[in-house]
Amino acid sequence: MKRRNWDAKTKTKVVLEGLSGLSVSEICSEYGIQQNQYYRWRDQFLSEDYVSPEH
C-alpha cells in the first residue's frame, strides 16, 4: 500500500471532527485511516508542542 502524506490542515480537520463528537470509526472509514493513526494525530494535536497550520 502506498504511503500518503497528510498536511497539517487535513490532520486538524480530522481530529476536530472526532473531538466534536463524531464516531472515530466513521471518521477513519471516511478518510481511509486506521484508528491508531487518528489517536496519534489527536495526541499530537492536544500536546503543547502542536503548531497550528496557519503558523
Contact in structure between 47 and 15 (CB atoms under 8 Å): no
In total, how many domains does the chain have? 1
Residue 52 lies in a domain: no
- Over residues 30-48, the pLDDT tens digits come to 999 999 999 999 999 999 7
Cα–Cα dist 30/19, whole Å: 16
pLDDT for residue 42:
96
Q: 29 lies in which domain range? A: 8-46
pLDDT for residue 2:
72
Q: Note if the pTM is more than 0.85.
A: no
pLDDT for residue 53:
63
Residue 32 lies in a domain: yes
Place of cell 492536544: 46
Cell numbers given for 30: 471516511
Q: How far is CA 12 from CA 1, 23, in A?
A: 24, 16
Cell numbers given for 7: 498536511
